[in-house]
Amino acid sequence: MPTYRAPRGTRDLLPDERAVFDRLTRLATDLTERYGYRPIETPLFEQTAVFERGIGEVTDVVEKELFRLAPRTDEAESWALRPEPTAGIVRAYVQHGMQTWPQPVKLTTTGPMFRYDRPQAGRYRQFWQFDVEAIGDPGPAIDAEVIELGHRFYAEAGVQGVEVLVNSIGDPVCRPAYIATLTAYYRGHLAELPATEKDRLERNALRLLDSKDPDMAGLNAAAPRITDHLCEACAAHFDSVRAHLTALGVPFRVEPGLVRGLDYYTRTAFEFYVSGREGQQQALGGGGRYDGLVALLGGKPTPGIGFGLGLDRVALVLAEQGHAPAATAAPLAVVVGADPDDTVGRLRVASRLRAERLRVRADLARRKLGRQLEAASKDGAHFAVILGDELADGHVQVRDLQAGSQRLVALADLARELARAETTHRHG
């Protein structure tokens, strides 16, 4: 057992897995460009109040899972690692006066999030999210566009059978009455409530609906449904979101128990699942509308909607569904030499080829040519560039390791020759 290990709940993404994350991140960048989002990067930590005010103090994420940084005695402020990106992005929106930009402001980011959760499969203390936020459009059309973007991300990533669950969780007009109804319902079943849920009941009954406790499943299934208590404006909004989703051909199901774990959500809430795996732990991603958040964080009232998709879970599902990780790219050529000590020569040739954008390894081990060639074959390289006596008049031998043929090439032509081989190799 090594002395030092990655902290509990974190893991190292070794090259094969990191390559999967790279692919997903590139897809996120490409997709968001198509939909008109611009990248943003906010700090990995914020003033704790940004999360307490924004996400809500009576939420799992803030109450139990917030990664608080130990304060130094001489500092008045307290900080916490971001558990999700929305609060920080909205803080930036307000701080930089983005309310004066053309609306909606469409922003995207991908990066690590932190939650001090009990680690288990698919639940880590550091995990990755691909996130989009569209701030300044009250919807409902953009709600459907955002959901469709998330759905397309999974499809293009190669995840099969992703289903969207949607709900409306009302707004400050209709939600208070619903929460009162819900609270009365749970009070009627007080004896059946686990202690932690009892404790939360008077503070935020919605959190009970969102409970991960299996003992709550039966009670929650029979609970009053928010969709039966929406005000006219929220009901019309929800109808329209569904009509847009249908028109776009996005498969979805209304899930009245879906309330999302963060206080800032209003109206549209949604989650993505692999069909048949709708357990609480398995959500691939989720999001919703947050019409009150900008004002909560000190801006003038501005509606917004966004999502956060967990990349760790996408990687897990891709592996489960037999999606092979991207093969590691073998070098096109390895530069080897007859003189084991001439590492300078091998590096110089490799360096010139790399400047021409070719994937090249220089063999830097001081070993016999035969051993260098063996290693080149093992690498899966297409060519070995062999430096020998011909170097004196500006030539090298190029061996095609796959065909077994070899010919003399002028150094001046080398990059062009290899590049041509690369093109035919890729497209042939």
List interacting residues with ligand AMP (CB under 6 A).
84, 115, 117, 122-124, 127, 129, 261, 283-286, 308, 310, 312-313
Map residue 67 onto helix, strand or coil: strand
Pick between residue 261 and residue 299 the one whose CB is nearest to ligand AMP.
Answer: 261
Phi-psi region of 112 (alpha: psi -120 to 50; beta: other; left: phi over 0): beta
Pick between residue 124 and residue 383 the one whose CB is nearest to ligand AMP.
Answer: 124
Q: How far is the CB of 170 from ligand AMP (least distance, A)?
A: 19
Q: How far is the CB of 123 from ligand AMP (least distance, A)?
A: 4
Pick between residue 316 and residue 330 the one whose CB is nearest to ligand AMP.
Answer: 316
- How far is it, in rounded angstroms, from Cα 179 to Cα 202? 10
> Are residues 183 and 205 in contact, defined by beta-carbon separation less than 8 angstroms?
yes
Q: Give every CB contact of residue 61 below 8 A, 6+ residues apart in sequence.
A: 51, 55, 83, 84, 115, 261, 262
- How far is it, in rounded angstroms, from Cα 290 to Cα 316? 29
Pick between residue 93 and residue 127 the one whose CB is nearest to ligand AMP.
Answer: 127
Pick between residue 139 and residue 308 the one whose CB is nearest to ligand AMP.
Answer: 308
| Residue whose Cβ sits closest to ligand AMP | 310
* Beta bridge pairs of residue 383: 333, 400
Q: How far is the CB of 283 from ligand AMP (least distance, A)?
A: 4
Q: How far is the CB of 303 from ligand AMP (least distance, A)?
A: 19
Pairing of the two strands 162-168 and 252-254: parallel
Instruction: Locate 304 and state its tokens.
Output: 């917004």
**Burial category of 198 from C-beta neighbours within 10 Å (exposed 0-12, middle 13-18, buried 19 and up):** middle
Pick between residue 79 and residue 265 the one whose CB is nearest to ligand AMP.
Answer: 265
> Are residues 345 and 337 in contact, defined by beta-carbon separation less than 8 angstroms?
yes
Pick between residue 286 and residue 331 the one whose CB is nearest to ligand AMP.
Answer: 286
Pick between residue 229 and residue 260 the one whose CB is nearest to ligand AMP.
Answer: 260
Pick between residue 192 and residue 320 the one whose CB is nearest to ligand AMP.
Answer: 320
> Are residues 148 and 245 in contact, defined by beta-carbon separation less than 8 angstroms?
yes
Q: How far is the CB of 160 from ligand AMP (least distance, A)?
A: 17
Q: Where are the alpha helices (DSSP H) in 321-392?
A: 343-355, 369-379
- How far is it, in rounded angstroms, from Cα 83 to Cα 60? 11
**Burial category of 403 from C-beta neighbours within 10 Å (exposed 0-12, middle 13-18, buried 19 and up):** exposed
Q: How far is the CB of 273 from ligand AMP (least distance, A)?
A: 9
- How far is it, in rounded angstroms, from Cα 61 to Cα 398? 59
Identify the residue whose tokens are 């293009």.
Answer: 156
Q: How far is the CB of 85 from ligand AMP (least distance, A)?
A: 10
Q: How far is the CB of 80 from ligand AMP (least distance, A)?
A: 15
Q: How far is the CB of 326 from ligand AMP (least distance, A)?
A: 21
Q: How far is the CB of 100 from ligand AMP (least distance, A)?
A: 29
Pick between residue 35 and residue 116 the one whose CB is nearest to ligand AMP.
Answer: 116
Q: What strand order describes the sheet that includes 252-254? A: 38-39, 105-114, 126-135, 304-310, 285-289, 266-274, 162-168, 252-254
* Beta bridge pairs of residue 123: 120
Q: What strand order describes the sheet that includes 360-362? A: 360-362, 333-337, 383-387, 395-400, 406-410
Pick between residue 119 and residue 380 the one whose CB is nearest to ligand AMP.
Answer: 119
Q: How far is the CB of 338 from ligand AMP (least distance, A)?
A: 53
Please state the length of the chain.
Answer: 428
Measured CA to CA in angstroms, residue 353 lies from 124, 359, 400, 406 at distances of 42, 8, 17, 19
